[in-house]
């Protein structure tokens, strides 16, 4: 394997910082919605609830992404980076370039 691990580590950490920043900036949106009952009708109340649900789903995806990034960083430290966690074969280089946190080869991910 000829991965530039220092560069990959840097990419992963930058990505992690982005996800953390995005999560930080949207934290306020997940606070319970204070609704003005005199002004807000049933439909906009539903809109608000839907927006809140979407925001929570987005936050969950960010949590998953953070775990993937941390796991990839651990694999770099453990010397396992670039190998499929399922079959142990080297992961395709193009696949890693596309998603440096990927833990499976194309065959196993399909």
Query: Which residues make beta-bridge pairs with 83?
Result: 90
Which of 8, 12, 69, 84: binder of Zn ion (CB under 5 A)?
84
Find the shortest distance in angstroms from Cβ 91 to Zn ion.
Answer: 7
Which of 26, 86, 93, 97: binder of Zn ion (CB under 5 A)?
86
Find the shortest distance in angstroms from Cβ 107 to Zn ion.
Answer: 5
- 73's tokens: 């960083």
Q: How many CB atoms lie within 10 A of CB 15?
A: 18
Determine which helix (DSSP H) or strand (DSSP E) holds 42, and give its type and residue range: helix 42-77
Binding site for Zn ion (CB under 5 A): 84, 86-87, 105, 108
């Amino acid at each position: 394997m000829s991965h530039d691990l220092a560069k990959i580590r840097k990419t992963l950490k930058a990505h992690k910082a982005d996800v953390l920043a995005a999560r930080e900036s949207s934290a306020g949106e997940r606070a319970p919605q204070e609704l003005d009952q005199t002004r807000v009708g049933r439909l906009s109340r539903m809109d608000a609830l839907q927006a809140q649900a979407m925001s929570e789903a987005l936050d969950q995806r960010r949590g998953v992404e953070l775990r993937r990034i941390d796991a990839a960083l651990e694999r770099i430290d453990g010397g396992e980076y670039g190998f499929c966690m399922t079959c142990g074969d080297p992961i395709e280089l193009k696949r890693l370039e596309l998603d440096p946190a990927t833990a499976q080869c194309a065959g196993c991910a399909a």
